[in-house]
Structure 1
Amino acid sequence: MAKGDELVKYITERVVDYVETPREVRKERVKYREPWVNRWFGLIPFSISLWAERIPRKGKKKL
């Protein structure tokens, strides 16, 4: 039964911490998020996209 008590204690600590933080701080924390591709796969997709931008494509006009 100790695991159940620990779980309840952990959840209540998290809820109290969430309630006690000001709304502005919570919004700032959520405001900036990395793109989901970087969060899931790291910098590999980012580096591939940078590399792909440098490759010239047919029919694409430069500004």
Structure 2
Amino acid sequence: MKSNEYVKFMTQQIVSYMELPAEERKKRKLEHKQPTLYANRWFGVLPFALKVIRKKAE
């Protein structure tokens, strides 16, 4: 993506967000802050842990 296209995209996103009513923005924030499952949260650590264990075994 060229930088000009990226700036255009970001400008569109910001303008569309700012045009939303304040109530809708608050609702989106609350939906975004929903707690994540621990399995999803720790999934990113699992491959790293396996890599460390493998290196110790060598």
Which 4+ residue blocks in structure 1 deviate beyond 4 angstroms? none
- Percent identity, aligned pairs only, is 35
Structure showing greater radius of gyration is 1
More contact order relative to length (CA 8 Å, sep ≥ 6): 2
Unaligned 5+ residue runs, structure 2?
Answer: 42-58
TM-score (norm 2): 0.54
Greater helix share, structure number: 2
What number of residue pairs does the alignment pair up?
Answer: 40
TM-score (norm 1): 0.51
What RMSD in Å do the two structures reach over aligned CA positions? 2.5
Unaligned 5+ residue runs, structure 1?
Answer: 43-63
